[in-house]
Structure formats: structure tokens, C-alpha cells
């Protein structure tokens, strides 16, 4: 696989994109299952199984939770645009952009020792 000399600002934006996505995912796990207040439900027991799915009532998101999610999403959009429209991509042969983009996603990882 070819190596690319990614500019530092592009590498930084990609790492920030990774980090922000992970933070939003972690935060989302603490939120109610529905952004709006919704009644809970319980499904019938599945045939030949003791599994029965259901959800408790959801109070919905508070204004603070909604604002936090909106801030994360706005930052994700800003970083996605910064990465995808970076001038570096114009320096890569059109047929190699996908491979270069995949390499950027892993550029922050330590290099594996040569075999």
C-alpha cells in the first residue's frame, strides 16, 4: 500500500473527527432511547425462546442534552467538511483518492514494525 505525506492540519482534523465521533457515541449511550417523550412498550415473547423485548418509558431529551447533541453534530459536520474538502485531495490522482482517504483514517495509528 502506498504511503502519503498528509499535511499536519489534515491529520489533525481527521483525529479530531475520530475523537468527536467517539465522544458523541459515548454521550449518546447515556441518553434516553428517544429524543422525544415516548411511552414504553413490551413485545410478545418470541417463539421457542424466553426472550421478550421491550423499552421503559422515555422522558425524552432535556434542553441541555439536545443542545449537547446539536453541538457534537455541528462539530462533526465542520470537521467532515474540513477533511473532505482539504486542498490535499487535489494533489492525489483521482483513481487513488479512496485509497488515500482510507490511509488517512489510520494515519494516526503507530506504524507496524517491518516483518
pLDDT tens digits for range 56-95:
999 999 999 999 999 999 999 999 999 999 999 999 999 9
State whether the Cα torsion 72-76-79-81 is positive or negative.
negative
Q: CB neighbours of 72 closer than 8 A, spacing ≥ 6?
A: 20, 23, 24, 27
Is residue 24 in some structural domain?
yes
Write the CB contacts of 92 (distance below 8 Å, at least 6 apart in sequence). 4, 100
In the chain, the number of structural domains is 1
**Range 39-66 average pLDDT:** 88
The predicted pLDDT at position 108 comes to: 84
Is residue 39 one of the residues assigned to a domain?
A: no
What percent of the chain shows pLDDT beyond 70?
Answer: 97
C-alpha cell belonging to residue 66: 439536545
Q: Is residue 51 a part of any domain in this protein?
A: no
Provide the pLDDT for residue 114.
Answer: 63
Residue 75, in any domain of the structure: yes
Domain for residue 69, yes or no? yes
Query: Does a structural domain hold residue 89?
Result: yes
Decide if pLDDT at 113 tops 90.
Answer: no
Q: Is the pLDDT of residue 2 over 80?
A: no
Q: Answer yes or no: is 74 within a domain.
A: yes
* pLDDT of 111 strictly over 80: no
What's the pLDDT band for 100 if we cut at 50, 70, 90?
A: very high
Structural domain including 15 reads 1-31+62-109
Is residue 41 over pLDDT 70? yes
Q: Quick one: pLDDT at residue 44?
A: 79
- Is 90 exceeded by the pLDDT of residue 110? no
Q: Residue 93: inside a domain, yes or no?
A: yes
Amino acid at each position: 500500500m502506498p504511503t502519503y505525506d498528509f499535511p499536519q492540519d489534515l491529520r489533525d482534523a481527521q483525529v479530531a473527527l475520530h475523537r468527536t465521533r467517539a465522544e458523541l457515541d459515548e454521550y449518546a449511550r447515556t441518553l434516553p432511547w428517544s429524543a422525544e417523550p415516548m411511552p414504553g412498550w413490551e413485545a410478545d415473547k418470541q417463539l421457542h425462546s424466553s426472550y421478550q423485548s421491550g423499552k421503559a418509558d422515555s422522558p425524552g431529551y432535556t434542553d441541555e442534552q439536545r443542545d449537547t447533541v446539536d453541538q457534537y453534530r455541528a462539530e462533526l459536520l465542520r470537521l467532515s467538511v474540513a477533511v473532505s474538502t482539504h486542498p490535499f485531495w487535489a494533489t492525489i490522482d483521482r483513481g487513488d483518492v479512496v485509497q488515500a482517504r482510507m490511509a488517512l483514517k489510520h494515519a494516526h495509528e503507530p506504524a507496524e514494525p517491518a516483518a
